Amino acid sequence: MTSRRIIRVTVLIAVLCVLVGSVVDAQPGRTYNTAKQKLLNGDSVVGGTVSTSDPNIYCAMASAGFDFIWIEMQHSPLTYSEVARMIWACKDAPAIPVIRVPDATEGDIQKATDIGALGIIVPMVATVEKAEAAVRYAKYPPEGRRSRGSGQYGALWGRDYRETANDNILMIVMIESPDGIEIADQIAAVPGIDVVFAASGDIGSFTGYAQDDPRYQALIDKIRNDTLAAGKKLGGPFGWRDREGFSFFQASGEAGLIRAGASALLAR
């Protein structure tokens, strides 16, 4: 065999390997968002909350048994660069990364998805337009208008990320105020929304009602009934894990869990 033929055969083999690799990677319907899959299966999911930029703490939380990690970017000074390093540092952890973005802006949601978040939590949703914007910026066409740019998402979730991302991104909207509660049925009905989260603390803050006030309970019941009637999942604090209809829970932050763990250790 001449050297020219050897080169041609080598190139052909390389091309075939690339094509075969692409076929293997591009599995239709491939699911890697384990928390979303559990919800679809009718199970509950629990996420620990992280507000610090320390990758070691993030990895400890992501490997502790939670289904997802609620990365807090609304009420913390965390930057997207810091969160990108945290997610990459523990890229093989069982808990999937979910980011609460500051708002439903294209910039915030684009950055969150580009660095590898498989869930987007949007706070202060009180209009249908805001819920629609959240979906629009998180999903690729034809479901949304997410731009295809650079990011570490491909290295995290596979070369077929563009083809599978829409099915794996978990969209959570938070209802926190009376005007949002009033149209909870319309917000829950927005296509692409997976979870409606009843923000227990802010609902009390906006209304002035204590959580044992019947008026407060009536508001929570409305969110629950509207969400479930729309066929969506219902979220709330971990303390509500025994409430009927709830299946998506936010657990304590790293500081509280460290304190509780230390107290439990010393109590022995």
Residue 195: phi and psi, rounded to 5, are -135, 135
Q: For position 215, what pLDDT does the model report?
A: 98
pLDDT single digits (tens) 104-131: 999 999 999 999 999 999 999 999 999 9
pLDDT single digits (tens) 59-94: 999 999 999 999 999 999 999 999 999 999 999 999
Q: Identify whether the C-beta of residue 55 lies closer than 8 Å to the C-beta of residue 86.
A: yes
Q: Kindly give the pairing relationship between strand 170-175 and strand 68-72.
A: unpaired
User: Is a pLDDT exceeding 60 seen at residue 148?
Assistant: yes
Cα gap 235→248, rounded to integer Å:
4
* Confidence band of 29 (pLDDT split at 50, 70, 90): confident
**Domains in the chain: ranges and CATH:** 31-171+235-267 (3.20.20.60)
Q: For position 26, what pLDDT does the model report?
A: 45
Sign of CA dihedral 73, 126, 66, 237: positive
User: Is a pLDDT exceeding 90 seen at residue 15?
Assistant: no
Q: Name the residues annotated as catalytic.
A: 75
CB-based burial label for 19 (10 Å; 0-12, 13-18, 19+):
exposed
Q: For position 60, what pLDDT does the model report?
A: 97
User: Is a pLDDT exceeding 70 seen at residue 204?
Assistant: yes
Q: For position 27, what pLDDT does the model report?
A: 54
Residue 263: phi and psi, rounded to 5, are -65, -40
CA 216 to chain centre: 27
Q: For position 19, what pLDDT does the model report?
A: 39
User: Is a pLDDT exceeding 60 seen at residue 20?
Assistant: no
Cα gap 42→40, rounded to integer Å:
5
Both tokens of 258, joined, read 């460290």
* Confidence band of 194 (pLDDT split at 50, 70, 90): very high
Q: Identify whether the C-beta of residue 102 lies closer than 8 Å to the C-beta of residue 73.
A: yes
CA 240 to chain centre: 20
CB-based burial label for 75 (10 Å; 0-12, 13-18, 19+):
exposed
Q: Is omega for the bond preceding 142 within 30 degrees of 0, making it cis?
A: yes
Mean pLDDT computed over every residue of the chain? 91
Helix (H) or strand (E) holding 233: strand 233-237
Q: For position 17, what pLDDT does the model report?
A: 40
Q: Identify whether the C-beta of residue 258 lies closer than 8 Å to the C-beta of residue 61.
A: no
Q: Kindly report the CA angle at 121 between 188 and 190, in degrees rounded to 5?
A: 20
In Å, what is the CA distance from 57 to each residue of 54, 63, 67, 222, 266? 5, 10, 16, 37, 21
More confident position, 193 or 29: 193
